[in-house]
Amino acid sequence: MDRCFSVISFITRLFNTAVCFARSGLWVIVFCTFFTGNTTAESLTDGPVVGAVTDTSAKVFVRVSGPGAVYLEYSTDPNLRFAMQSDVVYPRYRDDFTAIIPIDGLLPNRTYYYQVIVDGQPTLSSLSSFISFPPDHVNTEFSFAALADVGNSKSRGAPSYARLAIDEPRFLLQIGDWDHRDPQTLDEMRLMHREVRGQGMSSGRYFRDFIANTTPLYYVWDDHDYGMNDGDYTFPGKADAIKAYREYFPTPELPNPEAGIWQSFRYAQVEIFMLDVRSNRDPNTDTDDENKSMLNGENIENGQKEWLFSGLANSTAKWKIITSGVTFNPTTKPADAWGAFTTEWQEVVDFITANNIRNVLVLSGDLHSGGAFDDGTNAGVPEMSVPHSNMNMNDDHPTGITTHTPGTWTSGYIRGPENPGYVLVTVETNPDRLILEVKGVSGDIRMTETLESND
């Protein structure tokens, strides 16, 4: 009996050793060494960036220098004791040697530290970390930040990132025009995604240095980072734009990943619906009637409008926050924002009203102002326009922003050129309300609005 047990034990240990060996990626090194004589390990060339966080899981983006074996070690212990391991992934040339690595088995509301292992070697000189989300049923107090419209000059930084890091937001929304270069090819799109987050760009350095390693990122494009000024579904580079985006960003599950990048996620009592206002948009010049759509211009199955309406109607979250790369308020920018789609804008507003969907807020980009707010009088639902991060510092346009049609906002709008910044949303519970602050790069508060819960 004892002998039988020891044989089983030996086989079990042999099996476990083989599994560990396979998961560690060391076999790749052994394989390469044996067959090619090459012992050079690949290196980490971009990332990590964390996103798609839930109370039990997350995803981490990495990019490496060539074919190799990559996995994560993660733990609530800052020295990675008792660390768990992700599955091993093998980034491929056809994906620009990027990978989105899922991790699971997390406990809610805990700080997780992690290391990126490439070809058996740790690559981060200091561990990255993030905080897992609370469960959906929790009603809790927290803050998150929203950014929009970052310039693409190598010499113009975006210190909003450095300042908002001090606020310790639980996540960051980047809601469009993270860059304004209009990339046309797959390689140009990939380069843009690397540069906005750190590679050689002043604005990207701020993201990399202050946000990327600690704060879950949720990002959806507007026109200039999609690739086509005032863009729509006719953009020839649409498939490449979607491919590059999916390579470089760790997103929640996309409802229709071949068609576009709209997505939603939940943090406690808040659900965020991030619209893709470009890849499924009809051309702006179409007649504004019931056939013209910003959300589903091609009338595809499993489309974005169906997803939005279903998501809003079925959401169990107290707060429903919609992000739009362009202003929802139809009195502003009528050539390219919702003002060019007033029939569909009215349909969205009517749907929210008819279904008694309460506590809806829109966060929008593209105004290039220093921030603006409407209580719903003009926008249909309460809307805060997120200030630009670093645009137009020397552009003293007559309106103070880059449009002749800044529109009507119940709280007005703040001039853009000298007022870059971001929005900090603080979710309070007693009473249930949102505190919306437009903040400058020095932390100065330029505008404060309060949304009380209608429940």
Binding mask 2-41 for Fe ion (x = CB under 5 A): ----------------------------------------
Contact 147, 173 (CB under 8 A): yes
Question: Rule CB under 5 A: is residue 149 a binding residue for Fe ion?
Answer: yes
Work out the number of other CB atoms within 10 angstroms of the CB of residue 66.
14
Closest separation in Å from C-beta 184 to Fe ion: 18
Beta-bridged to residue 219, according to DSSP, are: 174
The tally of CA atoms less than 13 A away on the side-chain side of residue 291 is 4
> Cα separation of 71 and 68, whole Å?
10
223 binds Fe ion, rule: CB under 5 A? no
Residue 177 sits in the site that holds Fe ion (CB under 5 A): yes
Applying CB under 5 A, the span of 123-131, 142-150, 181-189, 310-318 interacting with Fe ion comes to 142-150
Q: Roughly what angle, to the nearest 10 degrees, separates helices 304-314 and 342-354?
A: 20
Give the binding range for Fe ion (CB under 5 A) out of 99-107, 170-178, 210-218, 322-330.
170-178
Instruction: Tell the smallest beta-carbon distance from residue 163 to Fe ion (Å).
Output: 20
Name the helix (H) or strand (E) containing 218.
Answer: strand 217-219
Residue 445 CA to residue 441 CA, distance in Å, equals 10
Residue 149 CB, nearest approach to Fe ion (Å): 4
Q: How far is the CB of 366 from Fe ion (least distance, A)?
A: 5
Please identify, among the stretches 41-49, 53-61, 149-157, 194-202, the one whose residues bind Fe ion according to the rule CB under 5 A: 149-157
Q: Does 182 bind Fe ion (CB under 5 A)?
A: no
CB of 349 to Fe ion, least distance (A): 24
| Residue with smaller CB distance to Fe ion, 149 or 182 | 149
- Kindly state the tokens that stand for 67: 């074919």
The nearer residue to Fe ion, 42 or 182, going by C-beta atoms, is 182
Q: Which residue is nearest to Fe ion (CB)?
A: 177
Q: Cβ of residue 404: shortest distance to Fe ion, in angstroms?
A: 16
Residue indicated by tokens 């102002």: 369
- What does 146-194 look like in DSSP terms, one character per residue? EEB-----TT---THHHHHHHT--S-EEE-S-S--S---SHHHHHHHHH
Tokens linked to 133: 């989300």
Q: Which is nearer to Fe ion, 397 or 433 (CB)?
A: 397
By the criterion CB under 5 A, which residues form the site for Fe ion? 149, 177
